């Protein structure tokens, strides 16, 4: 046991003194820090879409249409000179530009609505259809209020203004209440700080796993391993020592994310990600030790490539996988899947799952050793 801990210490010292090891650590830390230096608001379906607005009618009805359009949560309406707005449209800063054509009010009063608006669409827009439907609905709303008041006036002229106001007010009432439901209940927009911290932890996890699987960090050389074996430390024990040391070596890569969690007041999240990240690294340390036993270099590289692709594709590190179907559930054999499920499954469940993964993957080399002895 004393020799085992000395091997762990030796491996750690070797990692912190070898140029290749330090380069890998710096790269992993740089990847972890990048999401934190480019923090921005998370994209949200409720985030207003910017459009331009040009009023060439300058009437009371066009002003009412502008006010109604600006009240839509979907849109952020910007006014300005036509050339300026169209230039912003071409540059992609605006999704669309609406022009209220001259004669808008007179057409609405006369019961007409064709060609009352012109919409210029951005070549980069993917939501222009939704925007046009929303603004078009407000035009129809105004037209319907005017038409209803006109019909009411035929029976009693005193009803004209009253009906117009009542229809305008009634049409503003929502038909339905819309709420977004997330995995853990009612959806709430992500806090930019904590969202960036999670991206940092997941990107660092992907890079660190790849470095550990590559086994590019010098393990001490075959002669060193053989000397340890001659002193009664098995190759399996050596692999476990390397797994522990490499996990400790890459553990600082989660500290930037933990610091941001702490700054955001999410102290429990900071502690949870440190613990889970350490277990995640330990699990991949066991996988790396098992891969090192592969004699064929070609098969070794193919195994590393396959493991890295599977880790990224099904671990939800880059793209969030839904918890529906067989494949996402089967992906829980991956340590990364437990790491990325903290928000949906809870800390204790993920801790148990990742602990089991780390134990199983680090026992592989011992199981193989036992089976060889039996043969």
pLDDT score for 180: 57
Mean pLDDT value of segment 46-65: 86
Q: What is the DSSP string of 173-240?
A: S-SS----EETTEE--PPPHHHHHHHHHHHHHHHHHHHHHHHT-S----HHHHHHHHHTT--HHHHHH
The answer on pLDDT for 282 being more than 80 is yes
How much is the pLDDT for 273?
A: 94
- Asked which of 46-50, 114-118, 254-258, 320-324 is least confident by mean pLDDT, the reply is 320-324
pLDDT above 50 for 217: no
pLDDT, greater one: 45 or 71: 71
**pLDDT at residue 230 above 70?**
no
Most confident range, picked from 27-41, 96-110, 227-241, 355-369: 96-110
Nearest to residue 239, comparing CAs of 193, 285, 181?
285
Instruction: Quick: pLDDT tens for 18-47.
Output: 888 888 889 999 999 988 886 654 444 456
Q: What's the whole-number mean pLDDT along residues 63-89? A: 86
pLDDT for res 270: 93
pLDDT for 125-163, tens place per residue? 777 777 888 888 888 878 888 888 878 888 877 777 788
Question: Does 310 have pLDDT greater than 90?
Answer: no
CA distance 129 to 215: 52
Report pLDDT digits (tens) over 258-274: 999 998 888 999 999 99
- Model confidence at 254, in pLDDT bands (50, 70, 90)? very high
Q: What is the mean pLDDT of residues 58-80?
A: 86
pTM (2 decimals)?
0.61
Q: 260 near 39, Cβ under 8 Å? A: no
Q: Is the pLDDT of residue 335 over 50?
A: yes
Give the single-character DSSP code of 158: T
Q: Please tell me which residue, 82 or 217, carries the higher pLDDT value.
A: 82
> Has residue 202 got a pLDDT over 90?
yes
Per-residue confidence (pLDDT) for residue 285, from 0 to 100? 86
Alpha-carbon distance of 36 to 54, in angstroms, equals 39
Q: Round to whole Å and give the CA distance between 308 and 291.
A: 13
Q: Is the pLDDT of residue 279 over 90?
A: yes
Structure tokens at 287: 């996988």
pLDDT (average), residues 339-361: 90
Q: 48-62, 172-186, 243-257, 354-368 — which is least confidently predicted?
A: 172-186
Q: What mean pLDDT comes out for the span 84-112?
A: 87
**Angle at CA of residue 36, ends 35 and 38, nearest 5°:** 70
Residue 375's pLDDT is what? 38
Residue 124: its pLDDT value, please? 74
């Amino acid at each position: 046991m004393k020799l085992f801990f000395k091997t762990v210490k030796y491996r750690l010292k070797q990692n912190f003194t070898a140029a290749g090891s330090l380069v890998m650590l710096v790269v992993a830390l740089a990847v972890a820090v990048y999401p934190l230096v480019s923090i921005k608001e998370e994209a949200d379906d409720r985030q207003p879409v910017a459009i331009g607005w040009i009023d060439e009618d300058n009437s009371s009805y066009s002003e009412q249409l502008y006010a109604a359009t600006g009240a839509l949560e979907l849109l952020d309406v910007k006014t300005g000179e036509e050339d300026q707005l169209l230039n912003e449209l071409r540059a992609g800063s605006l999704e669309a530009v609406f022009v209220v054509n001259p004669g808008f009010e007179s057409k609405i009063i006369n019961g007409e609505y064709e060609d009352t608006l012109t919409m210029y669409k951005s070549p980069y827009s993917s939501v222009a259809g939704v925007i046009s439907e929303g603004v078009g609905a407000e035009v129809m709303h105004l037209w319907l209020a005017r038409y209803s008041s006109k019909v009411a006036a035929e029976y009693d002229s005193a009803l004209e203004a009253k009906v117009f106001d009542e229809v305008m007010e009634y049409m503003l009432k929502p038909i339905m209440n819309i709420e977004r439901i997330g995995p853990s209940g009612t959806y709430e927009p992500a806090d930019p700080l904590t969202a960036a911290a999670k991206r940092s932890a997941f990107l660092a996890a992907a890079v660190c796993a790849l470095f550990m699987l590559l086994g590019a960090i010098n393990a001490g050389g075959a002669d060193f391993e053989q000397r340890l074996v001659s002193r009664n430390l098995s190759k399996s024990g050596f692999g476990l020592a390397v797994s522990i040391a490499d996990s400790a070596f890459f553990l600082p890569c989660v500290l930037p994310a933990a610091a941001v969690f702490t700054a955001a007041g999410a102290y429990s999240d900071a502690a949870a990600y440190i613990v889970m990240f350490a277990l995640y690294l330990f699990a991949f340390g066991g996988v790396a030790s098992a891969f090192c036993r592969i004699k064929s270099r070609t098969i070794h590289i193919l195994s590393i490539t396959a493991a890295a692709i599977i880790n990224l594709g099904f671990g939800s590190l880059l793209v969030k996988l839904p918890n529906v179907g067989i494949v996402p559930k089967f992906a829980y054999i991956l340590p990364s899947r437990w790491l990325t499920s903290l928000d949906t499954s809870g800390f204790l469940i993920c801790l148990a799952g990742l602990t089991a993964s780390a134990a199983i993957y680090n026992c592989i080399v011992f199981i193989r050793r036992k089976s060889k002895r039996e043969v």
